Amino acid sequence: MDREIFIDQVQCSGCEACVEICPQVFAIDELTGKAFILDPLAGTEEQIEEAVVTCPQDCITLIKAN
């Protein structure tokens, strides 16, 4: 299944929760202190969904495509 992941850079607080849950997909930009997507196809769907629900700023969106 294809998927797209988006991070709202304005809302991101740089808490690193997503990185702790799924470091294959998420990382923190050293210049901005905000999360970004390393590889949207890495990691399991369960890990990404956990990162989405764990994000305290609710700034990660996962779109699943068939």
Domain count, the chain: 1
Looking at per-residue pLDDT, the higher value among 1 and 16 belongs to: 16
Per-residue 3-state assignment (H helix, E strand, C coil) for 6-55: EECCCCCCCCCHHHHHCCCCEEECCCCCCEEECCCCCCCHHHHHHHHHHC
pLDDT in tens, 27-62: 999 999 999 999 999 999 999 999 999 999 999 999
CB burial of residue 30 (10 Å; 0-12, 13-18, 19+)? exposed
Q: What pLDDT band is residue 1 in, cutting at 50, 70 and 90?
A: low
Find the CATH number of the domain harbouring 52.
Answer: 3.30.70.20
pLDDT band at 66 (very low <50, low <70, confident <90, very high): low
Look at residue 58 and give its three-state secondary structure.
coil
If DSSP codes are grouped into helix, strand and coil, which group holds residue 66?
coil
Q: Which residue has the higher pLDDT, 53 or 66?
A: 53
For 47, the domain range is: 2-65
* pTM of this structure: 0.91
* CA–CA gap between residue 49 and residue 33 (Å, rounded): 22
